[in-house]
Amino acid sequence: MASDLRLDRTATSNLLLAHSSTFWDTRSVIRTQILGRVVPHLEDLFLIVNPRPAIPESREFEEIAIPRLRRLRELCEAHGAKLILLVPPTLSSESAVSQMAYAAHSTGVDVSVPIDPAALSAKFYQRDGMHLNSEGAVLFTSALAKDLPERVLTRDTLASRFVQ
């Protein structure tokens, strides 16, 4: 898997440690919380340093996502698990959600879109437009709690509306 993802030794080690160590898995969250308290306006600094990542165009996106999803599905099936791709909302993410849903469906991967991104205005996001704030997280978690049992039992959900 590491070679398929072209991970170097550091990234592979981080992935393995995050899987087996709660501290290692949560260290970036802890670091961010500490920095947020120590450095005023940290979010603004991150927006300058790390601009929003561009979503590849449809064809390029499919060339990247489809083989990865297929490989993940095969790995899950080989170990007796079912892969369900959870697609969280982001501001202006309707096209990205549509692309993810299409890629997942074309590879036989079940996809969960518990809340329509168009239903969440900017007031439900942090300043980066990618992460939900506490109000948005409550809405998303509530929607996920309703969608997940249906997802396990049936295939007809909001995600099917995004597939063209």
| pLDDT confidence tier of residue 157, bands split at 50, 70 and 90 | very low
| pLDDT confidence tier of residue 2, bands split at 50, 70 and 90 | low
Q: Worst-scoring range by mean pLDDT, 34-38, 40-44, 81-85?
A: 40-44
| Same-domain check for residues 85 and 6 | no
Question: 126 vs 47, 48, 79, 134, CA distance in Å?
Answer: 11, 15, 37, 9
Q: What is the pLDDT of residue 134?
A: 92
Asked if residue 62 belongs to a domain, the reply is: yes
CA 87 to chain centre: 5
Residues 82-132: pLDDT tens digits?
Answer: 899 999 888 876 778 888 889 999 999 999 999 988 888 989 988 877 889
| Same-domain check for residues 34 and 60 | no
Question: 43 vs 36, 39, 40, 46, 54, CA distance in Å?
Answer: 8, 9, 9, 5, 19
Asked if residue 49 belongs to a domain, the reply is: no
Asked if residue 23 belongs to a domain, the reply is: yes
C-beta neighbour count of 159 within 10 angstroms: 26
Backbone angles phi, psi at 111, to 5 degrees: -125, 140
- In the chain, the number of structural domains is 2
